[in-house]
Structure 1
Amino acid sequence: MANNVQIFIGKIFCIFQKAIVLTGGYNYAGIKGDMRVYQPFVEFDDEYSTTRLSLISGPWYDFECVQAGWAVNPRTYGDRETRLFAYWTADASNRTGCFDMTCPGFVQTSHEIALGAVLSPISVIKGLPWQMNLFIFKDPKTNNLWIRYEERINIGYWPPELFGSLCHGAAAAEWGGEVFSSKLERAPHTGTHMGNGRFPDWAMGNSGYFKRMRILDISLNLKLPDWMMSYQDEYWCYRSDYVSDYIVDPEFYFGGPGRNDMCP
């Protein structure tokens, strides 16, 4: 099982950095979780920061993936607001895939919630912990991959024709944060934040987090994963902390400031 997982946590391009918790080795029909919503600092217009959940299938060099969460993405949206987003690719982002509906693929069905919408309110340090719940799941009749918002609104779906194996089930599921930049793994490192720019803070909850993490198995049972593993690309820049001891429902904390004294 461990060998299967490595194909998903290996770095695809040096311009992406992750701090995630993942599970793999089975066939997953969905992924769900509560994520805290922030407005992180994004240093340059060609960078972005996201908090998202993902379903993935295929080898690292040619994987299929769907994601949903929130993002600060100046290039896509023209501002630094925190927005609801979705992303897909069928070939490791080599030739296919895009955010929201900036290319053909995702089918919007909801008239209440739109991809790309500004999210409000936003969590602030020592303030109320605003969060949202998202659920990506496969319709067993059509094989459409749906996004559900806050337990009740089906935003829309990716049709199965976009994918090869993913529409029949994913081999891995991920929760966590991601930063995109050309200024990673070298000095000067980007100062773009992940989460709210703080390293994981499980004691006070003042960092990026996921709670109530669930997978939908191929028998359509919504449950805790059988096992989970945390991972980060650059420990001194962005970190991850999976907390499972002495609590009934595991929690995942992540984030970081990017450039700092230990990440020059």
Structure 2
Amino acid sequence: MGKVVYFHGFVLEALMLLLAVHFVLSSDGLDNMSMSKHNLSTISKKLKLLNPPAVKSFKSADGDTINCVELYKQPAFNHPALRNHTIQMKPSPGSTGPTIQKQNSPRLKVVSQVWKRSGSCPKGTVPIRKIKKADLLRAGSLDRFGRKNPTVADESRRNKNIYADQTNGSNPIRRVNDIYFTQANHSTAVLVTEGFSYSGAKADINVWMPSVEWDDEYTTGQIWLRNGPWYNFESMEAGWMINPSVYGDRQPRLFVYWTADSSKETGCFDLLCSGFVQTSEKIALGSVMDPVSWPGPYQYQITLYIYKDFDTNNWWLQYGNDVNIGYWPAELFSSLCHQATFVEWGGQVYSSRIGKAPHTATGMGSGQTLRTFGYGCYIRQIRIRDNNLILKYPVWVDTYTDEYNCYHAFNNWEYMIDPEFYFGGPGRSPVCP
């Protein structure tokens, strides 16, 4: 009998040990992938590429680790087209053009980044969020980590789109070709302009924290500059985003994105692949933004300006009115290195539950369809730049939304000196089942 008791005790201990190991692996997300030596080696190599050696490292209050990496050792230069690239430390003189006269209001506040409360990076380095093993293991594939899924047209929803054509009050109405926008698993609400050659776009976007229902979904408030047809376009994007699959939480974060082929094989968010060249030590791409807007009189916003340097053909990203974060090198593109053919301001929700019942409850903008200051997500001080250096409101604009019952797009231009664009919504609701 004693031997039997001992045997059962041994089995019990073994089972408890196996359960403990399974719990540890699951908690780190390791059951998403096979734990073969090959995968462990691949993950290790990927982490080394994404986390260059740091000259300084510190923990941010939001849980991120910030690595201060020498400017020349950032991931950008792993791109084949940038092996012999000469880094541009600052924009060419006069390339930004004249600044906009800002509207001074005590109700408008500037959003900061949480990591800056814990430390700073020295000149000659750039702050890069440390990527952890758990971040990679959330991805369905290491090759697709930090990337959007390829753009696929959703013909089933194409004919259901609703337009709300608007102009600035003095120009004829034109319609946007919806095949540019109707994408599978995407819902977009934007203000768009086309018909000219664009060399820059700027706007103030207030930052909110709408709900994101599932971990494989994301929501944005952003600016796009694009060139090319929907099935093979080139794009530069910047704004705020909540993306659990990339960042591991539901906090709004500053992001950039690029692609040269509708996200088939190229491009990524932030510095998660080679491409975007960062030059500033003051901003960390992918970092948490705080404080954010809540219903009420005080709103927190960011100012973003994407513009072409005519001397180098690189596209710079400016944060606020004075911090040039870095640039998309001209070598990344074949068409955008010359010009953008249309510009969009607004938001996007990604979900496999778009156009299906039940619809995702992931919100866009403020998560409300309200069109009033303090309650809706706005984009203000909207400007474009064509082939001269003058920033101006577009000659023609149009609003577009894939799902008007779920996310709205409204350009408030009547009786206003400077029109304001409102976008967003809650997703699933009584009118969006």
Q: What band does the TM-score fall into relative to the shorter chain?
A: over 0.9
207, 228, 231: which is aligned to 1:58?
Answer: 228
What SS does the aligned partner of 1:174 have? strand
Distance in 1, Cα, partners of 2:245 & 2:297 = 29
Other-structure match for 2:91: none
1:79 corresponds to 2:256? no
Which blocks of at least 5 consecutive residues in structure 1 are unaligned?
A: none
Given the superposition, is the C-alpha separation of residues 30 and 8 from structure 1 closer, same or farther in structure 2, using an over 3 Å criterion? farther
Distance in 1, Cα, partners of 2:284 & 2:314 = 18
TM-score by length of 2: 0.59
Q: Give the % identical residues.
A: 50
Distance in 2, Cα, partners of 1:27 & 1:8 = 20
Distance in 1, Cα, partners of 2:209 & 2:179 = 27
356, 362, 382: which is aligned to 1:213?
Answer: 382
199, 214, 225: which is aligned to 1:29?
Answer: 199
CA drift of 1:219 comes to 1.2
Decide whether the 8 Å contact of 1:200 with 1:241 is kept in 2: no
CA drift of 1:127 comes to 4.9
CA drift of 1:74 comes to 0.6
Other-structure match for 2:426: 257
Decide whether the 8 Å contact of 1:232 with 1:238 is kept in 2: yes
Q: Which amino acid aligns with 1:6?
A: N
What SS does the aligned partner of 1:75 have? helix
What SS does the aligned partner of 2:331 have? helix
Distance in 1, Cα, partners of 2:411 & 2:178 = 20
Q: Which amino acid aligns with 2:356?
A: R
Distance in 2, Cα, partners of 1:141 & 1:248 = 34
1:240 corresponds to 2:387? no
Distance in 1, Cα, partners of 2:365 & 2:347 = 7
221, 225, 229: which is aligned to 2:394?
Answer: 225
Q: Which amino acid aligns with 2:203?
A: G
Of structures 1 and 2, the one with the larger relative CO (CA 8 A, separation 6+) is 1
Other-structure match for 1:10: 181
Other-structure match for 1:92: 262
Q: Which amino acid aligns with 1:229?
A: D
Distance in 2, Cα, partners of 1:16 & 1:168 = 28
Give the total of aligned pairs: 261
Distance in 2, Cα, partners of 1:119 & 1:49 = 15
Other-structure match for 1:162: 332
Decide whether the 8 Å contact of 1:22 with 1:228 is kept in 2: yes
316, 341, 353: which is aligned to 1:183?
Answer: 353
Indicate the larger mover: 252-261 or 86-95.
86-95
Which blocks of at least 5 consecutive residues in structure 2 are unaligned?
A: 1-172
Given the superposition, is the C-alpha separation of residues 44 and 127 from structure 1 closer, same or farther in structure 2, using an over 3 Å criterion? farther
Distance in 1, Cα, partners of 2:333 & 2:192 = 21
Indicate the larger mover: 125-134 or 35-44.
125-134
Which string of whole-angstrom CA distances, capped at 9 and with x for unpartnered residues, describes residues 16-43 of structure 1? 1100001001000010000011111101
Other-structure match for 2:309: 139
Other-structure match for 1:111: 281
Distance in 2, Cα, partners of 1:15 & 1:71 = 17
CA drift of 1:10 comes to 2.9
What SS does the aligned partner of 1:124 have? coil
CA drift of 1:200 comes to 3.5
What SS does the aligned partner of 1:166 have? coil
What SS does the aligned partner of 1:49 have? strand
Which string of whole-angstrom CA distances, capped at 9 and with x for unpartnered residues, describes residues 177-226 of structure 1? 10010000010100000001100413x44111100000011112111110
195, 214, 221: which is aligned to 1:44?
Answer: 214
What SS does the aligned partner of 2:250 have? coil
Distance in 2, Cα, partners of 1:164 & 1:7 = 24
